[in-house]
């Protein structure tokens, strides 16, 4: 199976490459964080909202092919009691909350294939064990967000928190060096912004480099949509 993976959008337009590739792949997987643009990139919040609306329409056009995951920058709008993340737009929080709630059926926390596990930032055994969670709990995201959303606020030392590892929307990729990942499946994540190249090991790949990637889940080859050379997760 070929998946087109889109890391953190934050109002950027690179995700539109998916529109041209949609007929050539089996799945298009967004890793979350659609809003809260970086000011130095010259993207306004209104720009980001327009891109978000376009992404929601894209999901409507291809409901079975497009997967929309949730990130930490989505959660503080979806759940208004959630901890504030950087660049939160407090003036439009209620409006964006309503946008998420009106489209809640379009989102999920994780996506799983036979050999791969997709989330915003990575799933670690210590976090799962601490709260006695299973992948089925995370898949039942509506119940999870209603009853157990506070577990998503766990943040590690890497991000200024007090825990060894973060939740599936807060974990930093550097946590993967010394901490055990949950599940034997290879994990595909965003969240930790890289400078130029993605961070790829045999167990996890962080693709947050502002471009789309093609992942072949059978050969384990992964490459930027604009490049010919592929790396192999093996």
DSSP string covering 146-167: HHSGGGGG--BGGGT-SBSS--
Strands (E), the chain: 2-6, 27-30, 66-69, 107-108, 111-112, 116-118, 186-189, 199-200, 204-206, 213-216, 221-224, 231-232
What band does 160 get if pLDDT is binned at 50, 70 and 90?
A: confident
Place of tokens 């379009």: 106
Q: What is the pLDDT of residue 232?
A: 65
Domain boundaries, the chain: 2-232
Element (DSSP H or E) covering residue 102: helix 93-102
Q: Taking the domain 2-232, which CATH number applies?
A: 3.60.21.10
What band does 86 get if pLDDT is binned at 50, 70 and 90?
A: confident
For the chain, the straight-line distance linking the first and the last C-alpha, in angstroms and rounded, comes to 17
Strands lying side by side in the sheet with 213-216:
107-108, 66-69, 27-30, 2-6, 213-216, 221-224, 231-232
Q: Which residues contact 160 (CB under 8 A, 6 or more apart)?
A: none
What's the mean per-residue pLDDT of the chain? Answer: 93
pLDDT digits (tens, 9 = 90+) for 105-134: 999 999 999 999 999 999 999 999 999 999
Q: Is the pLDDT at 96 greater than 90, yes or no?
A: yes
pTM for this entry: 0.95
pLDDT digits (tens, 9 = 90+) for 15-71: 999 999 999 999 999 999 999 999 999 999 999 999 999 999 999 999 999 999 999
Of the candidates 188, 214, 190, the residue with the CA atom closest to the CA atom of residue 26: 214
44 beta partners: none
What band does 84 get if pLDDT is binned at 50, 70 and 90?
A: confident
DSSP, res 28: E
Q: What is the pLDDT of residue 229?
A: 61
pLDDT digits (tens, 9 = 90+) for 164-218: 999 999 999 999 999 999 999 999 999 999 988 999 999 999 999 999 999 999 9
Name the phi and psi angles at 9, rounded to 5. -85, -55
Q: What is the pLDDT of residue 180?
A: 97
Q: Is the pLDDT at 234 greater than 60, yes or no?
A: no
What whole-number percentage of the chain has pLDDT above 90?
A: 84
At residue 57's C-alpha, the angle toward residues 54 and 61, to 5°, is 135
The full length of the chain comes to 234
DSSP string covering 163-186: BSS--TTT--GGGGGTSPBSSSSE
Q: Is 145 helix (H, G, I), strand (E, B) or coil?
A: helix
What band does 85 get if pLDDT is binned at 50, 70 and 90?
A: confident
Average pLDDT for 222-227: 84
């Amino acid at each position: 199976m070929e998946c087109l993976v889109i890391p953190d959008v934050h109002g950027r337009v690179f995700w539109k490459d998916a529109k041209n590739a949609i007929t050539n792949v089996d799945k298009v997987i967004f890793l979350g964080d659609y809003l809260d643009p970086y000011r130095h990139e010259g993207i306004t919040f209104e720009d980001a909202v327009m891109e978000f609306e376009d992404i929601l329409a894209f999901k409507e056009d291809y409901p079975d092919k497009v997967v929309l995951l949730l990130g930490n920058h989505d959660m503080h709008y979806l759940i208004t009691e959630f901890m504030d993340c950087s660049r939160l737009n407090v003036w439009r929080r209620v409006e964006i909350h309503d946008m998420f709630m009106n489209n809640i059926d379009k989102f999920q926390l994780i996506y799983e294939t036979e050999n791969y596990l997709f989330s915003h930032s990575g799933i670690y055994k210590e976090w799962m064990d601490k709260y006695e969670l299973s992948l089925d709990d995370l898949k039942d995201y509506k119940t999870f967000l209603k009853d157990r959303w506070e577990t998503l606020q766990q943040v590690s030392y890497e991000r200024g928190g007090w825990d060894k590892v973060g939740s599936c929307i807060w974990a930093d990729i550097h946590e993967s060096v010394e901490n055990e990942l949950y599940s034997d499946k290879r994990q595909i994540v965003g969240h930790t912004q890289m400078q130029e190249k993605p961070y790829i090991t045999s167990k996890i790949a962080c693709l947050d480099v502002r471009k789309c990637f093609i992942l072949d889940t059978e050969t384990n080859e992964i490459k930027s949509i604009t490049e010919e050379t592929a790396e192999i997760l093996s």
